Structure 1
Amino acid sequence: MGFFEKLKEGLTKTKNAIFKQVDNLFKSFVKVDEDMLEELEELLIMADVGAASSEEIISRLREKIKEDRITDPEECRIALRDILVDMIGEGEPLKLDTKPSVILVIGVNGVGKTTSIAKIAHRLKENGKHVMLAAADTFRAAAIDQLQIWADRVGVELIKHTEGSDPAAVVFDAASAA
């Protein structure tokens, strides 16, 4: 089994575990009440949905429960699914009409940016695009090495400088090379 198949399998297991926890939560209550909603919110936060998003989801769910007078946990689960589908939406395909095209990825440490970059690079390469990564996170220990490993696995070029160097210089060199 290849690397990406293993990654996909691992993510699928995580997703299934989260959905199972949500299903078990709804099955453990005989009626919809505040305790159930608080447990659901906690579960969403623990599943890395994020505090603000979890609060928004629960707020919308409370409104739906009130509007539709939902008392059955199964109906509540269906309402939750509808809310999530509405919030996530269909999405739009990535349009890379300019050459070179730039995708900037930012976020706090530990949320999966590097792994997501590798997935995006892999997908773009599969679709016939020439992909180059720029290791501009020059201050986090091992960030450059981690991105190099992913670039090698995916088979794309990586522009990098030494740890602690100027991130803008890395981006400049990458733009020049593109």
Structure 2
Amino acid sequence: MTDVQQESLRDIPFTTADGGTATLSDYGDGVVMVVNVASKCGLTPQYEQLEQLQKTYGDRGFTVIGFPCNQFMGQEPGTMEEILDYCATTWGVSFPIAEKVKVNGSHAAPLYKALKRAPDAEGKRGPVLWNFEKFVLTPDGVVHRFRPTTKPDDPAIIRVIEDALTPRS
């Protein structure tokens, strides 16, 4: 976890699935989980856990935003229409899905260029390792990075979300 200039991260524009422009600030000042997703990956069942997090914590200021990415063995080859249909019909996804992006390399999306400065639990920064790498941004300006094999419902992720959210009223 690290403070990676939360304010500037929340203001970096990205393209939404419908071709519009948004920033993380558009989703409020609560907790945001940014995750690169893919439809044809062994980790794709994480969509179910991501959706459950959205349902469990959404009313308390939590939002998952999925960023489809085809950089890892071509595991997200579809068009945006195909991706959105797959997410909705297969996994019941209700959280926002952004336009397909690159997360690594010189053409990486600006948001991902900034997020990759955050270290994981072992202190390692740098490239996204695979599909379903998770970045949890908290209102206090901290970015928590969880590698792809860490499931969305892992106790470490739940702890970060619950500690940063406003209590239920």
> Radius of gyration: which is bigger?
1
The answer to which structure has the higher strand fraction is 2
Question: What TM-score does the superposition give when structure 1 sets the normalisation length?
Answer: 0.29
Question: What TM-score does the superposition give when structure 2 sets the normalisation length?
Answer: 0.30
Considering Cα pairs closer than 8 Å and 6+ residues apart, tell me whether 1 or 2 has the greater RCO.
Answer: 2
The answer to which structure has the higher helix fraction is 1
